[in-house]
Amino acid sequence: MLLRISLIVAILAGLAAGVVSYLEISDKIPALVQQRDDEHTAKVNAKTELASTKVTLKKTQSDLAQTQQDLADTQADRDKQAARADAQTQLAAGLSDKLNKVSQERDDAQSSLAAYKATELTPEQVLQLGKDLKDARAEVEVVNGEKTVLFHTVARLTTELNKYIGTNEFVTLPADLRGKIVCVDPKWEFVVLNVGEDQGVISDGELLVSRQGKLVAKVIVRSVEKDRSIANLVPGWKLGEMIEGDDVSPAHPAS
């Protein structure tokens, strides 16, 4: 009997506890439902905003790519315009130079024409004057050549005369005489020079041999031809080996 009563009490206590728990849970259910609905709504809104953001981002990326392409096209156009402007500037400068040159030529031609008119000469007379001037220049060149030959001949004869009468100790050569060694024979110590009678070289004339401004030797002319000569080394004047290309100049230049 006591056991039955205990069971009944336990059952009633369990029922009472269940009723209490149900009452407590039933009070929280609406709040939980509301919380679930709020979270669902927030989730839906977040998905909607994310989709909208993705669309906006895609459009922004597309706009950025288009902007970059437009910028590249603009820069390319700018470079083309700059190159075209440079070409036009250079063309303008070239045309300006040509214009100045043509203007100068025109002024020169006008000056020449004015000078020609001032002479009051006919075209035939002008042509004859030109021919006479050309002939006169040719005669002057011939005379100067003969004068040079005559001068060299006089110098050579004077030197030979002085040598025979014993008034000079050495032969003088033109002060501006300059030449080079074109061949060297080290065994017999003679050289071939690229200057001769036409340049005023005289037999027995002495020449200094130098290289880069330094004295190498002294030679004396033994044989003279029209445009070359042969000279021997002067004893005691070998300061170095003579080679092709060495410079030669008068040891005793005429004053």
Task: Please give the angle made by the CA atoms of 157, 159 and 160, to the nearest 5 degrees.
Answer: 65
**For residue 13, pLDDT beyond 80:** no
Tens-place pLDDT, residues 139-174: 667 655 555 555 556 555 665 555 565 555 678 888
Rg, Å, the chain Cα set:
59
Position 41 scores a pLDDT of 80
* DSSP assignments along 7-69, one per residue: HHHHHHHHHHHHHHHHHHHHHHHHHHHHHHHHHHHHHHHHHHHHHHHHHHHHHHHHHHHHHHH
Position 27 scores a pLDDT of 61
Of 160, 153, 168, which is closest to residue 200 (Cα–Cα)?
153
Kindly state the percentage of the chain with pLDDT values over 70: 71
Secondary structure E strands in the chain: 179-185, 190-193, 206-211, 214-224, 229-233, 247-250
Position 75 scores a pLDDT of 84
What's the pTM value of the predicted model, to 2 decimals?
Answer: 0.41
Dist CA 129 CA 87 (whole Å): 49
Position 222 scores a pLDDT of 93
What would the two tokens of residue 72 be?
């590249």
Region of poorest pLDDT, from 10-14, 73-77, 146-150 = 146-150
Tell the residue number behind the tokens 């993705």, with chain if given: 54
| CA dihedral sign of residues 82, 83, 86, 91 | negative
pLDDT bin (cut points 50, 70, 90) of residue 14 is low
**For residue 237, pLDDT beyond 90:** yes
Of 83, 64, 226, 86, which is closest to residue 152 (Cα–Cα)?
226
pLDDT bin (cut points 50, 70, 90) of residue 15 is low
Position 105 scores a pLDDT of 82
Residue 195 burial by CB count (10 A; 0-12/13-18/19+): exposed, middle or buried?
buried
**For residue 254, pLDDT beyond 60:** yes
What would the two tokens of residue 52 be?
């909208």
CB 194 within 8 A of CB 179: yes
Tell the residue number behind the tokens 């445009």, with chain if given: 227
Give me the mean pLDDT over the 65-90 stretch.
Answer: 82
Higher pLDDT, 196 or 27: 196
